[in-house]
Amino acid sequence: MGYGALGTGALRYGLFHGQRLSLSRVDGFRPSLLRIVAKLSMMSNPDGTLSGHRMQPKQGSDWVPFGGRFGSKVDSDQGKIEGRRFGLEILDMRITRARALGTCFGVRDAIDAALSPEISIDLTIVGQLVHNPQTVQRLHDAGVKMVSSSDDEITTRNVMITAHGAPASLKKQLSDQGHIVYDATCPLVLRVHQAVRRLVKEGWHPVVIGQREHVEVKGIVGDLVDFTVIGDLDDLHLLEGRERIGVVCQTTYRIRQAKEILLQIGQRFPDIAIEFIDTVCKPTKDRQNAVDELSEQVDVMIVVGGTNSSNTHKLLNVCREKEVPAYHVENDEQLEPGWFVGVEHVGITAGTSTPHDVIDQIHARLVQISRQQ
């Protein structure tokens, strides 16, 4: 028993010869990748027939013809397949999910906290809890209010800091205003805050490799008097005159690019002392490494996540660096059948803010498109 994969060619009919399944090709059908995606349970009986909980040829039959869509009972002069479903499905397009994708534990915990009944009925989130439109809609539907900053009017007793974090001064400000502050900052983002505090205490000039306008970076540097944010190699001139720098990364930054920046800093400023703490989070690394591997195997990549999601854009960049066609979508309705004409293998990846039910919907839609090709 097991799963099987078949080579190219269109299925016309197949024969069970003893324990062997043979498929025929038919001229005129466009080549496609045929895969058996259902489990087959087949055993050889002493009389030469095949049996199993999925199929049962007629006693004494030598072979069983079958064809078309499988599911209902099939009868023939030579034999029949009994049971409600044979369980064999032929797809024209192989679909593979990256080995790591979708919502990470930090995002999941933040969402669960915001939706908990004891606080959600009287809650305002300062900023966007996560960069995913479906999750934002769920929060709205649950009655959760959102404001872009603490300067906006907040009418609820409960307030929540987003998973991206915030300066300690903001938390104190909200508490002093009489709010109950719930901190949903991801623990791995808090680790960056702690690392920066240690570097400053030890006399290092704090440097953050990341996007200057990203809410996470703003939270990291919000309480610092003197700091530098390096977005890319064009910003290295900002380190002129520094003697000791302590470097951390935005948690969703690409570690490969961060190491390249560190290398260039060392070459451009050979006398500068550098203390580097790798704060790119493991879920981000896992997803970037997974899409790096999968993009070498597929014809097209689908990248699922919010348009304002930093880590989702970085997954998209990995695909582009591999020169694999990649499409960024937020939901299954944005998938275009024309993207997959002639495609034999499509991969799916998703940012750390993307719920797994959204990924399931994307996968289901791709299966539907494959059947319509």
Burial (0-12, 13-18, 19+ Cβ within 10 Å), 295: buried
Residues 194 and 180 in one domain: no
Active-site residues, by number, are 216
Q: Which 8-state DSSP code applies to residue 197?
A: H
Residues 164 and 218 in one domain: no
Residue where one domain finishes, among candidates 280, 306, 332: 280
- Domain ranges, residue 157: 105-186
Give the CATH number for residue 165: 3.40.50.11270
Residue where one domain finishes, among candidates 186, 219, 234: 186
Backbone angles phi and psi of 270, in degrees to 5: -65, -20
Residue 266 CB neighbours (<10 A): 12
Name the nearest CA neighbour of 251 among 205, 219, 227. 219
Residues 124 and 207 in one domain: no
Query: What is the chain's pLDDT, residue by residue, as a tens digit (373 residues)?
Result: 333 333 332 232 233 333 333 333 333 333 333 333 333 333 334 443 333 333 333 333 333 333 333 333 333 333 333 333 334 444 679 999 999 999 999 999 999 999 999 889 899 999 888 888 889 899 999 999 999 888 899 999 999 999 999 999 999 999 999 999 999 999 999 999 999 999 999 999 999 999 999 999 999 999 999 999 999 999 999 999 999 999 999 999 999 999 999 999 999 999 999 999 999 999 999 999 999 999 999 999 999 999 988 889 999 999 999 999 999 999 999 999 999 999 999 999 999 999 999 999 999 999 999 988 7
Please report where in the chains the tokens 């006693």 appear, as a residue: 59
Residues 172 and 231 in one domain: no
Please report where in the chains the tokens 């907040």 appear, as a residue: 154
Residues 19 and 45 in one domain: yes
Residues 254 and 232 in one domain: yes
> Distances in Å between the alpha carbon of 207 and those of 154, 254, 271, 321?
33, 16, 17, 27
**What's the distance, CA 3 to chain centroid?**
26
Residue 61: per-residue pLDDT: 30
Residues 135 and 73 in one domain: no
Name the nearest CA neighbour of 209 among 221, 199, 225. 221
> Distances in Å between the alpha carbon of 48 and those of 43, 169, 239, 330?
10, 79, 79, 53
Distance CA 74, CA 76 (A): 7
Residue 91: per-residue pLDDT: 61
Distance CA 179, CA 170 (A): 12
Q: What is the number of structural domains in the chain?
A: 4
Contacts (Cβ under 8 Å, ≥6 apart) of 234: none
Residue where one domain finishes, among candidates 186, 214, 229: 186
Give the CATH number for residue 205: 3.40.1010.20
Residue 21: per-residue pLDDT: 35
Residues 256 and 296 in one domain: no
Residues 366 and 296 in one domain: yes
Residue 373: per-residue pLDDT: 75
Residues 1 and 86 in one domain: yes
Residue 37 CB neighbours (<10 A): 15
215 by DSSP, 3-state: which? helix
Residues 326 and 360 in one domain: yes
Distance CA 149, CA 291 (A): 34
Residues 338 and 362 in one domain: yes
